[in-house]
A and B are shown apart, each in its own frame.
Chain A
């Protein structure tokens, strides 16, 4: 029987799941994905987590608890950097350590290091180091990684074509996306695409006749180019994508409005918000609304605000 490895459906799951899944499967383990976020998961996560952590990380802990009795090990990679000269969020740098310090019994934590800052060679070395736990054959590890990379490429193609990460992973039909208005949803994928965190915002918008654009639908080259318009290069990769998407929409006016979803106490979001709001003020092209979410967010309050925003956009269009 193969060992089972759990992958929490939170944080970078929405970015790299096909890569991780294929890579691990090819290494000969069975994958278990945690259940979609529920109230129970949120509660178990927030009760374990330090107060000051952001909601997405607390929810991540909830997913660990959801997995812990069902798997032999949990996959919590340390994603330090995904391109040269940048980092990810500090919390991702310390994620395996955070998981280990939780006051609960967890299965073994698999924490490969993904760090592109140190060059190609060191990057692959750490992958081989990780793969050694499963197979002695370097060739097999390499093949598993390459299979993962091609799965990831196929996934990104689907995203570019307009599928949401959840649709693309489940290989579902892309839901209809044609309304009279178009709203760009800026923000971290784990906030934008986790229906529980954002109170099902995407579905709600579609129900109200609004089509939705997200950063995944914009080619990476354009994101990169737009983010480079900042006076100083941002040193966080994922935030560069958020800024790139918002700037892109503001410049070519391909959306009628932008909703920026940020989590309470998120370090990067606090600064990105300033940059986005000042750009929006300067350009006066596309209205921008910031929506702060935390574990206390109420649905009614959010609906009121989003509806008012949509009404305003419709008046503008007249």
Chain B
């Protein structure tokens, strides 16, 4: 059995680590590329959202590379994601591929099913051992997320452009081989010291922007054209509403992001009084929270036809008016081009900068120094889409 799984941000680090522990053979599909997307598009239903199409492409590329078992998460709705595994199975079988599929359904579908699936993924291990493996896996996933959070926030302040990105890559390399709890703690410290060692100018007045929206688009740099790195390089400090380990974890505390589901729902209540699946409610709630915390603006990303975030998009203009915070929504599908997205993003950032300028004039503060490298380097990535 050679297990494979779709890419989503740093999930390959987390899952390969888990499989190393359970002793399962696995194949990491080639990093998501234009080819992945094209393969996925060939078989996907037209109105399915981009995540289904891209992950289908991941599966096809992994099957080509010799995988025979696909691992996908399930769900209980109302977001469509919960049925994606079934549909992908149906599509790939019809396309003539031969494989098994393991669908990890949440415990809400029944504990027995959940535990049986875990046993499949960890052959010969006892429940207690599986529990330990998961716990350590989470510890590592959280460490990786903490690094990411730090990078998002401080990339804007680096003195020499690109330093933080380089340091982040190095930090991930350090944390990758850590196995035991002690090693993880040690690697985490070392990784952080690398990030903290990057020369920063913390006095620089940077714009602060929140990124919200659908989890896959937020987590997968290919799908969001690497806009986090791009914005960071423009000199914008970022905070994001979703992190991988928060998203996987059944707890509602959101340890990395730091705001619990309940608080988010509370913030969203005047505008959206019921959860609508996916990130619909969090998108509205986080916008309110970011506005209250004095962020300069909010960027909302979601795939075309995504039901929950389409609802959020309909409601956000009202939040934006009430709290006087600029919000821009990007609806992304396979037709979206990077250049168009960047143009609109730049215009949005210009708007935020001039608003900040107005405000600082009123308060006689320092003039804001926004995107010191603005307009110098638009093509930061080597490829048209996402990371090099």
Contact = CB atoms under 8 A, between A and B. Distances in A.
A98 B199 CA distance: 47
Given A94-B272, A94-B276, A235-B76, A271 B313 contact: no
Contacts of A96: 273
B276 A274 contact: no
A26 B84 CA distance: 44
Interface in B308-341: 308, 310-311, 313-315, 317-318, 331
Given A52-B305, A91-B311, A232-B74, A103 B317 contact: yes
Contact of A52 (B48, B275, B304, B318): B304
Nearest to A111: B273
A174 interface: no
Interface in B252-298: 271-278, 280
A265 B314 contact: no
Given A80-B274, A232-B83, A87 B77 contact: yes
Nearest to A275: B90
The CB with the most chain B CB atoms within 10 A, among A52, A53, A264, A269, is that of A52
B331 A232 contact: no
A127 to B, nearest CB: 17
A90 interface: yes
A101 interface: yes
Interface residues of A, number: 40
B78 interface: yes
B86 A235 contact: no
A100 B254 CA distance: 30
B182 interface: no
Nearest to A99: B314
Interface in B76-96: 76-80, 82-84, 86-87, 89-91, 94
B80 A267 contact: yes
A86 to B, nearest CB: 7
Given A50-B310, A235-B82, A271 B76 contact: no
B305 A234 contact: no
Given A97-B271, A267-B307, A234 B313 contact: no
A265 B304 contact: yes
A96 B311 CA distance: 11
A91 B45 contact: no
Contacts of B278: 90
B317 A90 contact: no
A54 B87 CA distance: 21
A266 B310 CA distance: 11
B46 A270 contact: yes
The CB with the most chain A CB atoms within 10 A, among B74, B83, B313, is that of B83
Given A94-B315, A265-B304, A281-B94, 20 more contacts: A49-B314, A52-B313, A53-B314, A86-B77, A90-B277, A90-B278, A90-B280, A91-B311, A96-B273, A101-B317, A232-B103, A265-B305, A266-B305, A267-B49, A267-B80, A267-B307, A270-B305, A271-B45, A271-B48, A278-B94
23 contacts: A50-B314, A52-B331, A80-B274, A90-B276, A91-B310, A93-B276, A94-B276, A94-B280, A97-B273, A97-B315, A98-B315, A101-B271, A101-B315, A232-B83, A232-B103, A234-B83, A236-B78, A268-B80, A270-B305, A271-B48, A273-B45, A278-B90, A278-B94
Nearest first, the 6 A-B pairs at minimum CB distance are: A235-B77, A270-B47, A87-B78, A267-B307, A50-B314, A90-B307
